[in-house]
Amino acid sequence: MKKLAIGLYATVTVALMIWGFYQAIYVAPTDAMQGEIFRIIFYHVPSASVAFLFFAISLLGSIGYLAYRHSHPEWAQVADAWALAGAEVGIVFCTVVLTTGPLWGRRAWGIWWTWDARLTTTLVLWLIYVSYLLLRRFAAGPQVQTLAAVLGIFGALDVPIVYMSNRWFRTQHPAPVFGGDSDSGFKDPLMLHAFGWNILAWFAWGILVLCFRYYVERRQQKIAANEAQEALDA
């Protein structure tokens, strides 16, 4: 039953991705100001939204780990698995943001990169979470999870700064699609529909991958716990 539900969800997700792609390329009209290059927004913005959500999950997981590591060790392990899964999958989506953005910038601005507030804070966010993964991969000892949780919390503090950067500062990055001034948002309903489908598809895909990563991490924790127990018994 569980396998059937996962298979069904995965099928719906793939169908949504295909539908989102069709909407982005063939249905949404070409932007009058930017031309064809505008279509990158249908992959760029949903990726950023998913990355932000997953860094928030990582934040909650990190807080949960720190809160329960003494009183409920098993809950703390669950929280830690969510923290790691959120950070790792979030980095993947953040990498998409940092590669599709410069491709758009090269055509729209004539440059691949500029050190404006939105781009710089996004790069810093990516670097913080890469350091989080490197810490977990290469550091050893009983304090690794605690140190990673602290770093995860500090990393998540950059998310609202990234989100607000093009509201707080004068940036070269385009104005917010939603929640900006009265001029923000899609003017054409077909563009809005295409964007909505892609947001839905990307969240569905992201959640699928996140849950898979969590599942793998929980099993790795069980193997590690078993190895530790065997070492104690020996």
Q: Could you list the residues that contact another protein (CB under 8 A)?
A: 21, 25, 35-37, 39-40, 43-44, 47, 89, 92, 95-96, 99-100, 103-104, 106-107, 205, 209, 212-213, 215-216, 219-220, 222-223, 226
Q: Which is nearer to another protein, 51 or 128 (CB)?
A: 51
Question: Least separation, in Å, of the C-beta of 93 and another protein?
Answer: 8
Q: Shortest approach of another protein to residue 92 CB, angstroms?
A: 5
- The minimum distance between CB 113 and another protein, in angstroms, equals 15
| Least distance between another protein and beta carbon 89 (Å) | 8
66 or 97, CB closer to another protein? 97
Cβ-based nearer residue to another protein, 20 or 66: 20
- List Cα–Cα distances, 231 to 74, 143, 225, 227, in angstroms: 20, 19, 10, 6
* Spatial contact of 48 and 195, defined as CB atoms under 8 Å apart: no
What DSSP designation does 214 have? H
Cα–Cα nearest to 113, from 127, 124, 99: 99
Output the smallest distance, CB 43 to another protein, in A.
5
User: Please, which residue, 63 or 103, has the CB nearer to another protein?
Assistant: 103
Q: Which is nearer to another protein, 153 or 210 (CB)?
A: 210
Q: How far apart are the first and last CA of the chain?
A: 40
Query: How many residues are listed for the chain in this entry?
Result: 234
Please give the Cα distance from 144 to 149 (Å, whole number). Answer: 8
Q: Count the Cβ atoms, other than its own, within 10 Å of residue 131.
A: 13
